[in-house]
Amino acid sequence: MKYKWMLAIIKGDAMRSMRRIWLIFLIILITGICAAQVPDLVGYWAGSAPAYFIEDGAHDLVEDDRIVLAVVEQTDRLFTGNITFMRDGEEVVEAFAGAISADNKTLYIAESNGYGFGTIISENEFEMFYLEHGTPAIAAIDQFHRIKA
């Protein structure tokens, strides 16, 4: 009988220890989820971009526009490179800068004439919506796939 209070203390300490273990486990789990790896976009990406070109009140649907996007440098969630495409029968190369949002799935690209907003689908695929104002105005849906070396 005189040791009953001692058993109660030991049981209480065991419960507190279990709670601490669970709390530490949950903290580690949550930290692992929050610290997801930033996707590596460095490399070459090939894409096609169905697009509408609007000029002087007329519209033109281009359904088989080929694009190559080269990400040449990435620092954490910022990246830069150039995009190559054909316009009016001539090859055009434009520099761009981009950023990946904190969710590691959404990306944004800015270049001299327009902006792209996209979603990273997998480590080898992303989709981007491109908008360009001016003449011609352009709206495009780009699907990019990583070019394996």
With tokens 């697009």, the residue in question is: 51
What residues have CB less than 8 Å from 45, skipping those under 6 apart? 68, 69, 70, 71, 126, 144, 145, 146, 147
Digits of tens for pLDDT over the chain (149 positions)? 566 655 555 666 666 666 666 666 667 766 555 557 999 999 999 998 888 888 888 888 887 778 999 999 999 999 999 999 888 889 999 999 999 999 999 999 999 999 999 999 999 999 999 999 988 899 999 999 999 87
CA dihedral over 53, 71, 120, 117, signed as positive or negative: negative
